[in-house]
Amino acid sequence: RKEVEQDPGPFNVPEGATVAFNCTYSNSASQSFFWYRQDCRKEPKLLMSVYSSGNEDGRFTAQLNRASQYISLLIRDSKLSDSATYLCVVTRFGGSQGNLIFGKGTKLSVKP
Amino acid sequence: DGGITQSPKYLFRKEGQNVTLSCEQNLNHDAMYWYRQDPGQGLRLIYYSQIVNDFQKGDIAEGYSVSREKKESFPLTVTSAQKNPTAFYLCASSTIAGGTEAFFGQGTRLTVV
């Protein structure tokens, strides 16, 4: 089992839709949690950090549930420009992957 | 401005040739990473380093080599032993203690000709 698992996708949604991405992690020693966005043929860029209290940035809401070892990202009123791959990233000191563990990513396509 | 810089952006390699990809950061990060990404696939870890003069193999280290002589620099050499090197290569850096995000370079697209 992978240490970080994401919905396989792809997600194809119409403009204006609400879409939710889920991510689970298996190691309870995981420290920090992030969502990254990767556009085609570009480097991943930080979208949001994820906190237990939940955090919101405009149309984006991220949530962490440590008890269930689960992270989510909600995108409301999706735009064509939201089309990208969304990566769940977990940090854990002393892990076999260095400190960064990536999910495989979930591709989102927003259609007119 | 602080950041992480990869060069070149595009690189062409002949069969049997070694090539070196550059990665430099001025973020004072201890940890640096190299990933390979194939079309439509996730990131796969090649090597990482958490301190100068030390580095660890990732999942797909065969055919690659690295060095970490300076904190700021973590070059990756793609050797002739790597049979299928055509891919997008990404370098990243982060703090060791965790709690902060990783930063990525813009990537190098390597093509064998």
Tens digits of residue pLDDT in A15-61: 999 999 999 999 888 888 999 999 999 999 999 999 888 899 999 99
A43 contacts in chain B (CB < 8 Å): 90, 104-107
Q: Beta-carbon neighbour count of residue B10 at 10 Å?
A: 9
Interchain contact A2–B (C-beta under 8 A): no
Question: Can you spell out the DSSP letters for A7-23?
Answer: ----EEEETT--EEEEE
Q: What is the pLDDT of residue A109?
A: 97
Q: Which residue has the higher pLDDT, B75 or B1?
A: B75
Distances (CA, A) of A72 to A21, A29, A79: 6, 18, 19
What's the gap in Å between the CA of A65 and the closest CA on chain B?
Answer: 17
B95 contacts in chain A (CB < 8 Å): 99
Do B31 and B23 contact (CB within 8 A), yes or no? no
HEC assignment per residue over chain B: CCCEEEECCEEEECCCCCEEEEEEECCCCCEEEEEEECCCCCEEEEEEEEECCEEEECCCCCCEEECCCECCECCEEECCCCCCCCEEEEEEEECCCCCCCCEECCCEEEEEC
Nearest CA-CA partner of B11 in B76, B82, B66, B86 = B86
- Would the CB atoms of A32 and B88 count as touching at under 8 Å? no
Q: Alpha helices of A1-112 — where are they, by DSSP H?
A: none
pLDDT at B101 over 90: no
Chain mean pLDDT for chain B? 93
B48 contacts in chain A (CB < 8 Å): 97-98
Q: Which residue has the higher pLDDT, A98 or A7?
A: A7
pLDDT at B29 over 90: yes
Which residue is associated with the tokens 């990208």?
A84
pLDDT band at B9 (very low <50, low <70, confident <90, very high): very high
pLDDT at B98 over 80: no
One-letter identity of residue A48: M
Which residue is associated with the tokens 């119409």?
A14
Among candidates A34, A97, A104 on the partner chain, residue whose Cβ is nearest the Cβ of B42: A104
- Would the CB atoms of B105 and A43 count as touching at under 8 Å? yes
- Would the CB atoms of A99 and B100 count as touching at under 8 Å? no
What's the gap in Å between the CA of A35 and the closest CA on chain B?
Answer: 10
Query: How far is the C-alpha of B62 from the C-alpha of B52, rounded, in Å?
Result: 21
Do B110 and B89 contact (CB within 8 A), yes or no? yes
Distances (CA, A) of B47 to A10, B5, B90: 29, 17, 11
The full length of chain A comes to 112
Which residue is associated with the tokens 């977990």?
A90
% of chain B beyond a pLDDT of 90: 80
Beta-carbon contacts of residue A67 (< 8 Å; ≥ 6 apart): none
pLDDT at A96 over 70: no
